[in-house]
A = this chain, B = another copy of it.
């Protein structure tokens, strides 16, 4: 197995994936035909099918790869110890999502919504996403545990629930910015911060 060939293969794969991202994002998963992707990738039908055996696999790969890229971006934020306090944390994670978008030919936020929808009827995709998001949530819970330890959260705070709230904020940021479009990470962080600075005796 010559090395060049492997490299070439990886390149080709990416070429197809990028074509798929472009198409999916502008037309949606189902309205995109294999022919659209084939044309956009500048390869032949046979070539594309030799890399991805079906449209479903291609969708799965497109989403999985995308999620993998995001995970890499998120990693340093999640790994920081001590973690940045909640509002800053949310802002940094939202920035990662936005920057990831800007860097590539595709918009992660729109692709995410497509993936969520598809996950409703695609078992494998659902599992992939569940793993990704619950893995992320576990890391958030770790961060919350750390905040609690540092006294940033009260002793009776529930890190898993804080993680749920923070994941909701993140997912909701993605949805909101794809659907309405006028939210940026700073807005979100400010809103979260304002809530954190609220008079706590009225919070049940």
Could you tell me if B151 and A199 are in contact, using CB atoms closer than 8 angstroms? yes
B179 touches A116 (CB 8 A): yes
Contacts of A133 in B (CB 8 A): 176, 179-180
Q: A114–B147 Cα gap in the complex (Å)?
A: 36
Q: Is A104 an interface residue (CB 8 A)?
A: no
A183 to B198, CA, bound (A): 24
Q: Which of B144, B157, B193 contacts A203 (CB 8 A)?
A: B193
A contacts with B, residue count (CB < 8 A)? 73
Residues of B close to A151: CB separation below 8 A: 199
Please determine whether B120 and A110 come into contact, CB atoms closer than 8 angstroms.
yes
Bound complex: CA A117 to CA B162 (Å): 27
Is A168 within 8 A of B158, CB to CB? no
Which of A4-12, A58-66, A68-76, A81-89 lies at the interface? A81-89
A119 to B134, CA, bound (A): 26
Residues of B within 8 A of A191 (CB): 158, 161-166, 168
Give the shortest distance, in Å, between A54 (CB) and chain B (any CB).
Answer: 15
Residue A154, interface by CB 8 Å? yes
Partner of A187, one of B161, B193, B194: B161
Are A204's CB and B87's CB within 8 A? Answer: yes
Please provide the chain A residues from 128 to 159 with a CB less than 8 Å away from any CB of chain B in the complex: 129-130, 133-134, 137, 144, 147, 151-154, 157-158
Select one of B110, B172, B183, B195 contacting A162, CB under 8 A: B195
Residues of A within 8 A of B (CB): 25-31, 85-88, 110, 113-114, 116-121, 126, 129-130, 133-134, 137, 144, 147, 151-154, 157-158, 160-176, 178-181, 183, 187-200, 202-204
Nearest 3 A-B pairs (CB), nearest first?
A: A165-B191, A172-B172, A168-B172
